[in-house]
Amino acid sequence: MERQLDHELNFLKEKLLKMASLTEESIAKSIKSLVKRDSTFAQEVIEEDTKIDLLEVDINNLALKLLALKQPMANDLRFITSAMKISNHLERIGDQAVNIAERSLELITQPLLKPLIDIPRMAELSQEMVKNSIGFLINNDVSSAEELWKTENIVDDLNSQIFRELLTYMIEDPKTIKRAIELILVGRHLERISDLSTNIVEEVVYTVSGKNIKHFHQEK
């Protein structure tokens, strides 16, 4: 019985891992579309979001089935309910990548405002955060979770920097306002991805250690 449950829990883990890797890919592609000014990548992100959505439904159904049929206790129970919440965070990260893809489709139709440096850097960091947050769960080890809060701070700082820079563009030339706002929104979407990754880590810390660290970090 116990070994059968372990088998099903591993199956759940695999699905989460698959979902995380799809969302990482979506983030990367949405930014690639923005940097290379290529709508194909953005279209792919929008189309592939359905796969991420369906994986969330899938994970929830499997979790409910395990709760109903296996009546899991303690750690297993915590893992299953956390899986439901983490899949929800991943689904939202996918939505943010779709938002970026939509901004990109809009920006491609207009002249380039400025070469993008901080935004791709932010995207790399956010993508890494998603990867690491799920990595903690898979390896059952949250000893380096602290690192992730530091990365979140870097992402926040980059976002403020992007905002201030774009503000100067807008003030100098009102013709840049629309494009600058689109880029400000891209910055905010990436900041949301980094926030959502910290939500995942909070869940993982709770699952692995039983400690609730939620609400110790101010949400944005």
- Residues of the shown chain interacting with its own copies in the complex, contacts defined by CB under 8 A: 50, 53-54, 56-57, 63-64, 67-68, 71, 73-74, 77-78, 81, 84-85, 88, 92, 95, 98-99, 167, 170-171, 174, 177-178, 181, 184, 212, 214-215, 219-220
Which of 85/120 has CB closer to its own copies?
A: 85
Q: Considering the complex, what minimum distance in angstroms separates the CB of residue 178 from its own copies?
A: 7
Secondary-structure percent of the chain, ordered helix, strand, coil, rounded to 5: 85, 0, 15
Query: Which of 147, 173 has the CB closer to its own copies?
Result: 173
- Distance in angstroms between the alpha carbons of the first and the last residue of the chain: 43
**Is the Cβ of residue 112 or residue 167 nearer to its own copies in the bound state?**
167
Q: How far is the CB of 36 from its own copies (least distance, A)?
A: 25
Whether the Cβ atoms of residue 78 and residue 12 lie closer than 8 Å to each other: no
| Identity of the residue, 24 or 202, whose beta carbon is nearer to its own copies in the bound complex | 202
Provide the minimum distance between the beta carbon of 174 and its own copies in the complex, in angstroms, as a whole number: 5
User: Using an 8 Å Cβ cutoff, are 94 and 26 in contact?
Assistant: yes
Amino acid of residue 80: I
- Contact partners, residue 109, CB within 8 Å, separation at least 6: none
**Residue with token string 């991805």:** 193
